[in-house]
Chain A
């Protein structure tokens, strides 16, 4: 099976976690079509923390969803450690999501009938080497909210439960869609510290979507998106710790 990708050789590089080539995404809307992605090329390296910046509607979530195996591109290829996700079977995609990816959704997507602890447990119960749910919640500063239901938590607390849920399985990649979007700066910093710690201590390749430009300073690289394309990429010489960010 030869992927028709001339740059496939790069995929063999052990440092490349994701190799994205020529990805487009079109949403058919009856007569009209929405071009969410118009041909994206990028790589994500192991251990690095990338921030995706761009105006609303530029295709950030769409790209992240495709990386996470939650959606499939209309054209192009996404290689995860050399394996082409666009050709993966349903079974392979399920395993990929189960064992390799931690996802923080823009809308939290907690299960309303489960407590914070149980929401995390839903994921740890099927993972290979998970943390204990309590541990993960401790990490995001929710050790005292274990038995609260989502409806009993603030938006920021719900978001932190979602992060705990994402990191509890010790994933190889962590994908976060506007994790601090609804949070005040103090809480936002707690959340970002959790993400940064996972990235640093476990070496988890991490991509974070935000439209808060100052957050970009904690990244190794910053990918700017506009209108379904990557406009340019910045590399930071040094990463700032979340606590040092000016909000």
Chain B
């Protein structure tokens, strides 16, 4: 082996502490990238395969009632491939020992011999016996929430009639990956369930013999979705069709897609931030590392080594270190990606997971890292070889001597000799000091960007569920009902306040922008369920016109005064124009709001409502639930506290899981950077410090000189980290998808404290290690080698 390569190995061994710290920075940065992207890719691939294997339909439509024979007409429409007609019925579910109101959707199972779309994946038990009318298969999430097993029983109220059913199977369906009540924003697995019954049994129970009220279909190859929807709507119009829609408006798919989009954007943003920061830090660290070798470089040059071969030598050193980081990063990325994917798989209840990591992603991230490191090396080596060797062989002279700020201010009288040395050293090398501060600051910043979500989520919950929506219970009726229902609700013992609401499913259209959502008509004196402006003050609605969540304003390109086309997807399906009068700040969900009377006027309907918000005396809750269950018009009951819990359980959890992984990696990077700073400073100054020891300085004093400098730089870096963190968080918010919710830039003191804490802890640990090395400083070696 050549002497130079031997030097390489020994240097690597000698630098192992630093090498590991650098590898840690690269590894954590790469792992963050690979984890985020592989998780997303895996989820998307898995969903696509699941959809394909289990025949997830392309187009969905509900209607009042149509004869079975219509199915053939639909199948004959151009662009339609397979058609499945079925019956579905909203039900109230009764579970022994569970007082909360539970609603559900009873769906007729795919029939043998027919196009079987939206097939079930059986988790436990068996499929339905088509000849039995008392069997049911239930969704996996619902089963888990109530610990149901095949053989258990539950009661349902279909069409006002109570029916006892035997659970024979537990299943998953591509159509209900998200089992979410049409009346809720978030899934609540305990209080909403999807159930499948044999088709004929359900048709009989729901008075739908020989008829259907729901149809799903797949598109023929090359067919345009919009065309088919148009044709289907035309066919269904006579049968009370409620507007066909594609996958992007299908509840489960839409929710899932929004979450995927959000995850994807989070993943992408974090990849850019993490890789960017890691690469910057790597470049900085490598530059400093090579700079400490300046005298050796000059010596090699003096012997006639060419710049290129010296560059190659250091490139090898850096590549070896980087390679270590890359291997660790790829391994950790795959491991974390699989872990995270599995968490998500279980969360989404996919029947299986296709883990995917695109080689191009690994290659791209790896190359970016390696190139960044090599650029740093080349830069540093070039700087070292630029000087004539005679000069470079001497230690770098400090920049021009000038009285330091401290001396000009006359502060030196107040400071001990070691303190003065600290300040002088920092001031003499402002660029190096600034870079140290910047490096640590960036690391502290990514910790903040990785954890601020918790604050934002808490804030959103506070704003939405405690300040805007303050009802205890939200009741929804089976169909539009007269105001009289309010009196009935108000008369229930324990109900202290009742507010009406009219919710209308609509398609909003402005120019070429279309958005499917709902409009809520609220009473002008609404106090329980309110909307807030940007200052969190309640908004009162003008007697005419519509107020939209700010996200919809952007999405539909609207400004106050514009006319918005509203296609109602309910009743007689009128199409109306309504002026936009303003926008409200809403963090979670999207929709439109109108004055209740104005909405009814727009629909040219009588004073109708579809639900109500109740304030309930806490002691009477159970009672109210029981009474509500007995009211035939009540289709669903949402308990406010559950909504908050569900929010955390769904989006909150999902985000926070991701963020926990990210925060851990950010912590690793921080430690790597701080430790590196400390070690490089040590190697840059050990000779000087050893000389001071020889001159009679104590161990404590030289430790103070070195660690004091580190401490000062670290302290300066903490506030910088706060600013970086805030900026990164703002950037993050600006890049993520807004549909599901709009994340506010809210940073609580504890997030700042966490960042500062991680930086400080890293500094203290690094300081202790460096201190141990200082104590073992070899004074004799210093005396023996030159000067």
Tell me, rounded to whole Å, the shortest Cβ–Cβ distance linking B700 to chain A.
25
Query: Contacts A72-B388, A103-B302, A122-B303 given: A109-B7 contact, CB under 8 Å?
Result: no
CA of A238 to CA of B116, assembled, Å: 113
Provide 10 A-B residue pairs closer than 8 Å at the C-beta atoms, listed in order of the A residue: A70-B302, A71-B388, A97-B303, A103-B302, A105-B393, A107-B787, A109-B302, A110-B785, A111-B300, A125-B4
Q: Does B592 contact A (CB under 8 A)?
A: no
The number of inter-chain residue pairs (CB within 8 angstroms) is 96
One of A62, A94, A165 near B306 (C-beta < 8 A): A94
Identify the closest chain B residue to A166 (Cβ).
B303
Query: Contacts A98-B304, A103-B302, A155-B784 given: A114-B389 contact, CB under 8 Å?
Result: no
Q: Is the CB of A111 within 8 A of B296?
A: yes
Tell me, rounded to whole Å, the shortest Cβ–Cβ distance linking B776 to chain A.
14
**Contact flags B765-787 to A (C-beta < 8 A → 1, else 0):** 00000000000001001001111
Q: Is the CB of A109 within 8 A of B299?
A: yes
CA of A88 to CA of B7, assembled, Å: 30
Q: Is the CB of A151 within 8 A of B7?
A: no
Q: Is the CB of A30 within 8 A of B388?
A: no
Contacts of B787 in A (CB 8 A): 107
Q: Does B408 contact A (CB under 8 A)?
A: no
Q: Does A209 contact B (CB under 8 A)?
A: no
Query: Contacts A70-B388, A72-B388, A109-B295 given: A150-B303 contact, CB under 8 Å?
Result: no
Number of residues on chain A facing chain B (CB within 8 A): 41
Tell me, rounded to whole Å, the shortest Cβ–Cβ distance linking B295 to chain A.
7
Identify the closest chain A residue to B397 (Cβ).
A29
CA of A96 to CA of B390, assembled, Å: 15
Contacts of A68 in B (CB 8 A): 302, 390
Tell me, rounded to whole Å, the shortest Cβ–Cβ distance linking B421 to chain A.
22
- Excluding A94-B301, A165-B303, 11 further A-B contacts by CB distance (< 8 Å) are A68-B302, A70-B302, A70-B388, A97-B301, A97-B302, A107-B393, A113-B7, A114-B10, A125-B4, A126-B305, A151-B781
One of A65, A112, A123, A155 near B390 (C-beta < 8 A): A65
Tell me, rounded to whole Å, the shortest Cβ–Cβ distance linking B772 to chain A.
20
Query: Contacts A30-B400, A70-B388, A151-B784 given: A118-B6 contact, CB under 8 Å?
Result: yes
Query: Contacts A71-B390, A125-B3 given: A113-B10 contact, CB under 8 Å?
Result: yes
Q: Does A234 contact B (CB under 8 A)?
A: no
Q: Does B391 contact A (CB under 8 A)?
A: yes
Q: Is the CB of A125 within 8 A of B784?
A: no
Q: Does B221 contact A (CB under 8 A)?
A: no
Identify the closest chain B residue to A97 (Cβ).
B304
**Contact flags B176-212 to A (C-beta < 8 A → 1, else 0):** 0000000000000000000000000000000000000
One of A62, A105, A109, A114 near B3 (C-beta < 8 A): A114
Identify the closest chain B residue to A107 (Cβ).
B786
Identify the closest chain B residue to A91 (Cβ).
B306
Q: Does A108 contact B (CB under 8 A)?
A: yes
Contacts of A101 in B (CB 8 A): 304
10 A-B pairs with the lowest CB-CB distances in the bound complex, closest first: A98-B304, A107-B786, A65-B390, A70-B390, A97-B304, A71-B390, A121-B3, A113-B10, A118-B3, A71-B388
Q: Does A90 contact B (CB under 8 A)?
A: yes
Query: Contacts A98-B304, A122-B300 given: A108-B3 contact, CB under 8 Å?
Result: no
Query: Contacts A70-B388, A94-B304 given: A150-B785 contact, CB under 8 Å?
Result: yes
Contacts of A109 in B (CB 8 A): 295, 298-299, 302, 393, 786
Contacts of B390 in A (CB 8 A): 62, 65, 68, 70-71
Q: Is the CB of A123 within 8 A of B303?
A: yes
CA of A123 to CA of B301, assembled, Å: 11
Q: Does A246 contact B (CB under 8 A)?
A: no
Query: Contacts A30-B400, A98-B304 given: A108-B388 contact, CB under 8 Å?
Result: no
Contacts of A70 in B (CB 8 A): 302, 388-390, 393
Q: Does A154 contact B (CB under 8 A)?
A: yes
Tell me, rounded to whole Å, the shortest Cβ–Cβ distance linking B263 to chain A.
48
CA of A143 to CA of B286, assembled, Å: 38
Contacts of A103 in B (CB 8 A): 302-303
- Of the listed residues A98, A113, A158, A165, the one surrounded by the most CB atoms of chain B closer than 10 A to its CB is A113
Contacts of B393 in A (CB 8 A): 70, 105, 107, 109
Tell me, rounded to whole Å, the shortest Cβ–Cβ distance linking B24 to chain A.
23
Identify the closest chain B residue to A30 (Cβ).
B400
Q: Does A12 contact B (CB under 8 A)?
A: no
Q: Does A95 contact B (CB under 8 A)?
A: yes
CA of A160 to CA of B774, assembled, Å: 31
Q: Does A99 contact B (CB under 8 A)?
A: yes
**Contact flags B570-606 to A (C-beta < 8 A → 1, else 0):** 0000000000000000000000000000000000000
**Contact flags B387-428 to A (C-beta < 8 A → 1, else 0):** 011110100000010000000000000000000000000000
Residues of A within 8 A of B (CB): 29-30, 62, 65, 68, 70-72, 90-91, 94-99, 101, 103, 105, 107-114, 118-119, 121-123, 125-126, 150-151, 153-155, 158, 165
Q: Does B11 contact A (CB under 8 A)?
A: yes
- Of the listed residues B4, B391, B778, the one surrounded by the most CB atoms of chain A closer than 10 A to its CB is B4
Contacts of B298 in A (CB 8 A): 109
Contacts of B6 in A (CB 8 A): 114, 118
Identify the closest chain B residue to A65 (Cβ).
B390
One of A90, A95, A111, A158 near B299 (C-beta < 8 A): A111
CA of A154 to CA of B783, assembled, Å: 10
Identify the closest chain A residue to B295 (Cβ).
A109
Q: Is the CB of A151 within 8 A of B14?
A: no
Query: Contacts A72-B388, A151-B781 given: A111-B303 contact, CB under 8 Å?
Result: no
Q: Is the CB of B303 within 8 A of A90?
A: no
Tell me, rounded to whole Å, the shortest Cβ–Cβ distance linking B6 to chain A.
6
Contacts of B302 in A (CB 8 A): 68, 70, 97, 103, 105, 109
CA of A101 to CA of B303, assembled, Å: 8
Tell me, rounded to whole Å, the shortest Cβ–Cβ distance linking B478 to chain A.
83
CA of A210 to CA of B388, assembled, Å: 23
One of A71, A113, A155 near B11 (C-beta < 8 A): A113
Contacts of A29 in B (CB 8 A): 400
**Contact flags B150-193 to A (C-beta < 8 A → 1, else 0):** 00000000000000000000000000000000000000000000
Q: Does B114 contact A (CB under 8 A)?
A: no
CA of A113 to CA of B781, assembled, Å: 13
Contacts of B14 in A (CB 8 A): 113
CA of A118 to CA of B302, assembled, Å: 16
Q: Does B307 contact A (CB under 8 A)?
A: yes
Q: Does B619 contact A (CB under 8 A)?
A: no
Q: Does B2 contact A (CB under 8 A)?
A: yes
CA of A95 to CA of B784, assembled, Å: 32
CA of A72 to CA of B387, assembled, Å: 10
CA of A94 to CA of B300, assembled, Å: 10
Q: Is the CB of A118 within 8 A of B7?
A: yes
CA of A114 to CA of B295, assembled, Å: 15
Contacts of A118 in B (CB 8 A): 3, 6-7
Q: Is the CB of B304 within 8 A of A108?
A: no
CA of A72 to CA of B10, assembled, Å: 34
Q: Is the CB of A125 within 8 A of B2?
A: yes
CA of A114 to CA of B5, assembled, Å: 10
- Of the listed residues B10, B14, B298, the one surrounded by the most CB atoms of chain A closer than 10 A to its CB is B10
One of B301, B400, B784 near A158 (C-beta < 8 A): B784
CA of A158 to CA of B786, assembled, Å: 10
Tell me, rounded to whole Å, the shortest Cβ–Cβ distance linking B169 to chain A.
70
Q: Is the CB of B784 within 8 A of A122?
A: no
Contacts of B306 in A (CB 8 A): 91, 94
CA of A72 to CA of B391, assembled, Å: 11
Tell me, rounded to whole Å, the shortest Cβ–Cβ distance linking B297 to chain A.
10
- Of the listed residues A72, A94, A98, A110, the one surrounded by the most CB atoms of chain B closer than 10 A to its CB is A94
CA of A178 to CA of B778, assembled, Å: 26
Identify the closest chain B residue to A99 (Cβ).
B304
CA of A214 to CA of B7, assembled, Å: 39
Q: Is the CB of B784 within 8 A of A154?
A: yes
CA of A150 to CA of B781, assembled, Å: 9
Q: Is the CB of B304 within 8 A of A114?
A: no
CA of A108 to CA of B296, assembled, Å: 11
CA of A21 to CA of B126, assembled, Å: 103
